[in-house]
Amino acid sequence: MTSQRSETNAAVSTADVELHYGATAVLKGINLSLSRGKTLALLGPSGCGKTTLLRLVAGLLSPTKGSVSIAGQIVANESSGVFSPPEKRNLGMVFQDYALWPHLTVGGNVSFPLEMRRMGRAERHERTMRALERVGLGAYADRRPSDLSGGQQQRVAIARAIVAEPQLILFDEPLSNLDRELRENMVGELAELIATLGLTAIYVTHDHSEALTLADDVAVMRGGLIEQLASPDELIERPATPEVADFLRLGGIADLQYRDGRWFFGNSGVVLLGGVAAASRTARVLIPTASITAGDMVPGRFAATVLRSQFRGDGHLATVSLVGADTTELQVLSRTKLRPGEGVGLTIDVDQIRWFGNGVHLSKKENLENV
Ligand SMILES: Nc1ncnc2c1ncn2[C@@H]1O[C@H](COP(=O)(O)OP(=O)(O)O)[C@@H](O)[C@H]1O
Ligand SMILES: [Mg+2]
């Protein structure tokens, strides 16, 4: 299957893939393409179909409609009946629960895929040790998995996935069983390992920071569809929908109404922006966290009440509601701790606001030019 690999062919692609369980459509038409040497993250809330899509690429499931290709070869096609089983797809897999065999040593676990390929003992040993050294576990080959910490066990699973040098590695929430500090360290390590080995990888996660850290491209999924597929920079700069912006925690989403030449928060009397022309009567906008400065509640600022606040490493991230428009919740970053119920005054840099759909507002400049 690997004999016709070509640089120009995508490492993985899917065309109109659907997966139904009875009458329930879990995947509703997935189109994606991943280049060799790149990492694609599948990001989305629990139940949106990430694992199902990964299992379709792995060959653990067969599509109800559409086709899957690996390295330019069709490995599953519902209409022609082509189906290549997992062992013929030359891929490695890493799961959330590690899936190590407890009765085998660490070395035994890692060399298992090579035994399946009937590789000779000497080469098996050499490759196993090389894979273990790559994940920093060269000294642990004779231990049992149960003697290792969770982070070390996950490294063993990664060594096992790379030992046969597969063309593609699939990760399904590999770090979600680890505690936060270890997870944050391992994300960086994993990104480095993927880059050093030049791996092509699909990485499933519900954690936006993991996806944005690790991946070259991120497919944000919702309800069995890809909502947006783009680079991390593009996603942050230009989220396609309010749902993407919300899932990536880019800031607060507000519904606006246009009345008498001004944009109000919903049907409240609080004006976000005035003196502009508008192409529609209503709009949904993202007010990025980075566009808001929180200070004392003084005239000229938006009065807001702190609902809750959480320390984030670079400050306290607070969710606030606007006084007079309390269905609008915004996110602000503050150096000092903000307490629930506390009043704050917000300054919003309106140029950083992202307008969705047809609610596009015309800036003052455009407005004047159009007169
Ligand atoms: N074997 C199955 N039979 C019926 N429904 C399933 C089956 N496996 C998964 N699902 C449903 O498919 C949806 C997507 O599941 P999954 O791909 O595991 O989501 P994710 O990995 O994004 O959390 C869920 O609603 C789940 O309940
Ligand atoms: Mg899953």
Q: CB within 5 A of ion ligand 2: which residues?
A: 51
Take atom 4 of ligand 1 and give the residue whose Cα is closest. Answer: 21
Instruction: Report residue 343 as tokens.
Output: 């009043």
Write out pLDDT tens, residues 321-370. Answer: 999 999 999 999 999 999 999 999 999 999 999 999 755 555 444 433 33
Write out pLDDT tens, residues 128-167. Answer: 999 999 888 999 999 999 999 988 999 999 999 999 989 8
Tell me if 21 CB under 6 Å of ligand 1: yes
Take atom 8 of ligand 1 and give the residue whose Cα is closest. Answer: 52
Distance 282 CA to ligand 1 centre (A): 36
Residue 130 burial (CB count, 10 A):
15
Tell me if 49 CB under 6 Å of ligand 1: yes
Predicted TM-score (pTM) of the model is 0.89
Alpha carbons 273 and 263: distance in angstroms, whole number: 5
Tell me if 46 CB under 6 Å of ligand 1: yes
Determine the residue type at 369: E
Residue 361 pLDDT: 53
Average pLDDT of every residue of the chain: 91
Take atom 25 of ligand 1 and give the residue whose Cα is closest. Answer: 47
Distance 275 CA to ligand 1 centre (A): 49
Mutate to test the pocket of ligand 1, among 19, 20, 21 (most ligand atoms within 8 A of CB): 21
H/E element holding 168? strand 168-172
Residue 367 pLDDT: 38
Alpha carbons 341 and 318: distance in angstroms, whole number: 11
Could you tell me which residues come within 8 angstroms of residue 251 by beta carbon, excluding any fewer than 6 positions away?
A: 245, 286, 287, 288, 289, 290, 291, 292, 330, 331
Take atom 17 of ligand 1 and give the residue whose Cα is closest. Answer: 49
Alpha carbons 214 and 260: distance in angstroms, whole number: 47
Tell me if 48 CB under 6 Å of ligand 1: yes
Distance 53 CA to ligand 1 centre (A): 10
Q: Which atom of ligand 1 is nearest to the CA of 221?
A: 22
Tell me if 52 CB under 6 Å of ligand 1: yes
CATH code for the domain defined by 12-243: 3.40.50.300
| Distances in whole angstroms, Cα of residue 13 to Cα of each of 65, 72, 129, 206, 222 | 14, 8, 33, 22, 19
Q: Which atom of ligand 1 is nearest to the CA of 52?
A: 17
The ligand whose atoms approach the alpha carbon of 42 most closely is: 1
Contact in structure between 265 and 256 (CB atoms under 8 Å): yes
Distance 47 CA to ligand 1 centre (A): 6
Instruction: Report residue 131 as tokens.
Output: 């894979």
The ligand whose atoms approach the alpha carbon of 55 most closely is: 1
The CATH 3.40.50.300 domain(s) of the chain lie at: 12-243
Beta pairing partners, 39 = 201
User: What is the distance of C-alpha 246 from the center of its chain?
Assistant: 13
Alpha carbons 215 and 139: distance in angstroms, whole number: 30
Could you tell me which residues come within 8 angstroms of residue 282 by beta carbon, excluding any fewer than 6 positions away?
A: 255, 256, 257, 258, 359
Alpha carbons 202 and 3: distance in angstroms, whole number: 22
Tell me if 138 CB under 6 Å of ligand 1: no
Tell me if 47 CB under 6 Å of ligand 1: yes
Report residues of the chain scoring pLDDT below 50: 1-8, 363-371
Could you tell me which residues come within 8 angstroms of residue 52 by beta carbon, excluding any fewer than 6 positions away?
A: 19, 26, 27, 61
Tell me if 43 CB under 6 Å of ligand 1: no
Mutate to test the pocket of ligand 1, among 24, 30, 52 (most ligand atoms within 8 A of CB): 52
Alpha carbons 187 and 185: distance in angstroms, whole number: 6
Handedness of CA 216, 93, 77, 1 (dihedral sign): positive
Residue 173 burial (CB count, 10 A):
20
